[in-house]
A and B are shown apart, each in its own frame.
Chain A
């Protein structure tokens, strides 16, 4: 089990996707910040005495720039592409490469095999999501004092992390299901692209991009029933369906 997990984790194509993905995603975030990160506020008010001028991060233009940069599509489109290809590699290319036959002869139940592979996919997806995100925050906002304590003490930012998790869970589980249904990895990649990206290009408010459109405005509703349904329940259904498919069918 542990050996299989380590083996699946260090498969060279997946590692090279990671090496290509993290710098690219970081670059996209920083470039979005520099070309679209605009925020200013004009305030008029009266106060008794001198009036304090300190401003917490959550109420400052810097805070709204951080949120609005993650509300742009570019980062998420690229991330979903990496997740789709990664899951097609983990769940379909193993059959085409032939090593699936070797793996499925191991004395491990199909459920555990599926679980291990899905865990590997989650490790990769979450690394591709959160590592560029935190590298971006740590470098592009390096001169903001107490940045991370400010961010983690801010409810909207914590909800942003939750929405990002929903996005990764939904795209990963949907593309796993597609990779298991279709007989070929290129087909799996194409169909997953269409299912995940087309609704966003058509302007439909469907997951996973409904989580991105929620980012500046509806961050407070991260745990409302609608978003939990789209971000946790639906992915869980996809995973169960994939598990049934794996159990029912022969390896190749």
Chain B
């Protein structure tokens, strides 16, 4: 039974190592979003809007290209409500900025405005919370394992 528990703990330690390895291996992947029209139009009490929402799986760099636009555009994390990028557009816009957390992001306008935008998401790395989680799992499991093996040899 002790050997089984030690096996489970060792597999947790190795799982942390596996995550440590897999993010750098996959950092070259990219997500491409074709051009779409994002807009927002307020008239009186009625708002008409088109938004783009996408999942970003890790810490990454977003290359945003917009054309034919006017207004104030922003990219917001839907779950935390944090705005990671905001800029005014007159005509065209090219921007490159980091997104620190994974989650669902929405590209939308503030006030009135519209633009045709496309996105390329590249350069994946493990987000900070993910690194914290797997480090804690790995460290806790290895301490427990060490205690267990020490008790074993006595």
Contact = CB atoms under 8 A, between A and B. Distances in A.
Interface residues of B, number: 56
A113 to B, nearest CB: 18
B26 A23 contact: no
Most buried by A among B21, B101, B104, B127: B104
Interface size classification for chain A: 35 or more
B47 A23 contact: no
B149 interface: no
A16 interface: yes
Given A26-B15, A60-B53, A46 B7 contact: no
A61 B51 CA distance: 13
A139 B133 contact: yes
A135 interface: yes
A-side interface mostly: helix
Nearest to A44: B50
Interface string B113-152: 0000000000010011110111001000000000000000
B127 A37 contact: no
Most buried by A among B47, B51, B79, B134: B79
A48 B23 contact: no
B53 A16 contact: no
Nearest to B6: A15
Interface stretch (A94-102, A142-150, A192-200, A231-239): A142-150
A49 interface: yes
Nearest to B101: A143
Interface stretch (B28-36, B61-69, B84-92): B28-36
19 contacts: A18-B7, A18-B11, A27-B22, A30-B22, A34-B57, A38-B31, A39-B55, A40-B52, A41-B54, A43-B50, A45-B48, A46-B48, A47-B47, A48-B45, A48-B46, A55-B104, A127-B8, A141-B103, A145-B80
